[in-house]
Amino acid sequence: MRYLEGPFAPVTEEVTAYDLPVTGRIPAELNGRYLRNGPNPLGVEDPVVHIWGMGQGMVHGVRLRDGRAEWYRNRFVRVPGFAPMVHVIEHARRTFAMAEGGLPPAELDEELNTVGVCDLGATAEGFTAGAHSKHDPLTGELHSLSYMVGRDFVQHIVTDAGGSVVRTTAVPMTRTPFMHDFALTENHVVLWDTPLGFDGFDCRWSPGHPTRVGVMPRAGGEVRWSEIDPVHVSHTLNAYDDGDSVVVDLVTAGGPFDPAAPGAIRPALDRWTITPDEIRQRRIDDRPQDFPRVNEARATRPYRYGYSAATALYGIPFAPEGAPPDDAFTNALVKHDLDRGTAEVHRFGSDEAVGEAVFAATGQGEDEGYLLTYVHDPVRGAGDLVILSAQDFTGEPVARVHLPARVPLGLHGNWLPDR
């Protein structure tokens, strides 16, 4: 039941608190909202179900303004049926809680109340949006890759900067893949069909199913598929075009993967260089980690820095003393310098737990800004919003905003700066 306990345990209350206590100093240039979505599996008994993102979505947010933490709010995503719980993004000045499996997003207001289900203007045959929709920071377009259980194709969906779906491309598959994430470059969409896919509503690893990697022009057109040895892809860090090659940095997890034994995956950071002839695979960092993030201003283009959350699945390298070896997250974040091939590790307290951290830019330099994340403090039994300087990554946090409630270690989020 580890996904229902401690820092993972569901919360039942919606809380609102103003003018939160802070240790340190909130940078005055951080004006906006830090939001994170995640499943809140009230009444769900099955930890496997939880880790795969079932349960009602709940968004936790902190609003920062002029050096103050103006409010904390957590709100259920209130839509009928299966609530979006995977991510929360902003597009066309609107806030969306994102689902996957072909389900539509829910629009939220500034204070995280649910406005309603929104299909982003998709046509009737459209799958709306995917869990890891990606912005091109230069064009403002939002690209999504969406699968739907029971359908033997996936869709690439392009939404323009104004919020209208402008193009939908169906990519035929042999079954419904579990295509949680994909990659986007200036000119290409990269997708993968791994052994992990759906047999009915069951998500399972199919031995003998190779991992197929597809490269498609962003404008639509033929997908060029290549096969590599079976491996699952958890998340993309970033990707870019390099001449005839497409470079994708991503978290892979070898198989076979048994959803009934989640400790059997070991996620690591890899670089795939996809040429017309081959896919060269190189391990960037063998230590278990996931939830990679980049400065979104460098998304889809060449870049230098990436950030990830250490996990302790199997491996112990990042695990705090005495921590159970199979916890999904530990107490550490990693900053990768991909040009130099080095990494720095920021460790929180030995009993604390940290999930995904997002980069908030405050300048033009790629690492000019801060990392924002929620850290579970077991002493208070509550969460802190922690702000780290990206350029002083191993230094003391510049601020810890003390929240009045626990934030379960959830899925994904974003820093949504004021415009």
Could you list the residues known to form a binding site for Fe cation, using ranges.
132, 180, 235, 412
Residues 6 or more apart in contact with residue 376 via CB below 8 angstroms: 6, 7, 352, 353, 354, 382, 383, 406, 407, 409
Distance CA 89, CA 77 (A): 14
Helix (H) or strand (E) holding 87: strand 87-91
- Give the largest CA-CA distance in the chain: 57
Residue pointed to by tokens 């809140």: 40
DSSP string, 282-342: EEEE-S-EEEEE--GGGTTS---EEEEEE--SS--TTPPTT--TT-S--SEEEEEETTTTE
Backbone angles phi and psi of 254, in degrees to 5: -70, 160
Distance CA 306, CA 292 (A): 7
Residues 6 or more apart in contact with residue 185 via CB below 8 angstroms: 218, 239, 240, 241, 246, 300, 301
**Are β-strands 232-242 and 332-337 bridged in parallel, bridged antiparallel, or unpaired?**
unpaired
Distance CA 183, CA 299 (A): 10
- Report the SS3 class of residue 224: strand
Tell me the three-class secondary structure of 233-275, residue by residue: EEEEEEEEEECCEEEEEEEEECCCCCCCCHHHCCEEEEEEEEC
- Report the SS3 class of residue 345: strand
Show binding-site residues.
Answer: 132, 180, 235, 412
H helices present in 37-137, as ranges: 47-51
Distance CA 30, CA 64 (A): 6
Torsion angle in degrees (nearest 10) through CA of 69, 26, 95, 249: -150
Q: For residue 211, give both structure tokens.
A: 């991992």
Residues 6 or more apart in contact with residue 282 via CB below 8 angstroms: 270, 271, 272, 273
Distance CA 329, CA 355 (A): 6
